[in-house]
């Protein structure tokens, strides 16, 4: 089995009940918990659920990319490489960059085996709002301006994997 750098460097603080990776707090949560929240909000306001989860992902992706750029002095390609590896290692599926073109402001990412799509089940629309938000936040740092990713393919819609495009 290949080593998982996240697990290798994850620090558990027993006295406070916190998990940290590179000084940033994380938590373990089942995808069914997030999808359960999403579906509950969708019952009363379908658009609100996706938007709220997207915004949470955006903030996380933006903050991570900004930290890696400013504090760790990563260039754009290193930020992408690191975040794709991290997404894979924290169990969000297998992340692959299909296209990155800074001049044209294009970023396309494929995620195989999304736990969010898997937990959600069948849908007529993309359901991986958290990942879509993370990719948008990442792209906003990479391209130095607001970016919005679209989920152009989704496992929950019957596609083979999820594809996000800025």
Average pLDDT estimate for 143-166: 98
Q: How far apart are the C-alpha atoms of 45 and 81, rounded to whole Å?
A: 36
* Domain assignments of the chain as residue spans, ordered by start: 31-165
- Residue 22 is predicted with a pLDDT of 79
At residue 1, does pLDDT exceed 60?
no
Helix, strand or coil, per DSSP, at residue 24? strand
Decide which of 61 and 9 is more confident: 61
Tens digits of per-residue pLDDT, 37-87? 899 988 988 778 899 999 999 999 999 999 989 888 889 999 999 999 999
Tens digits of per-residue pLDDT, 89-129? 999 999 999 999 999 999 999 999 999 999 999 999 999 99
Domain 31-165 belongs in CATH node 3.40.309.10: no
pTM for this entry? 0.90
Q: How far apart are the C-alpha atoms of 101 and 131, rounded to whole Å?
A: 20
The dihedral built from the CA positions of residue 63, 144, 53 and 45, taken in this order, carries a sign that is positive
């Amino acid at each position: 089995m290949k080593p998982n750098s996240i697990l290798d460097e994850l620090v558990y603080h027993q006295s406070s009940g916190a998990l940290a990776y590179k000084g940033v707090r994380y938590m373990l949560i089942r995808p069914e918990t997030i999808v359960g929240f999403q579906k509950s909000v969708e019952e009363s306001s379908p658009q609100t659920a996706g938007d709220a989860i997207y915004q949470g992902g955006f903030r996380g992706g933006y903050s991570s990319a900004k930290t890696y750029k400013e504090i760790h002095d990563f260039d754009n390609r290193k930020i992408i490489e690191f975040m794709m590896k991290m997404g894979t290692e924290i169990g969000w599926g297998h992340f692959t960059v299909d296209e990155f073109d800074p001049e044209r402001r294009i970023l396309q990412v494929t995620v195989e085996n999304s736990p969010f799509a898997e937990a959600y089940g069948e849908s007529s629309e993309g359901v991986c709002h958290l990942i879509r938000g993370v990719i948008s936040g990442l792209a906003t740092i990479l391209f130095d301006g607001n970016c919005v990713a679209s989920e152009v393919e989704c496992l929950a819609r019957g596609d083979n994997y999820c594809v996000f495009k800025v």
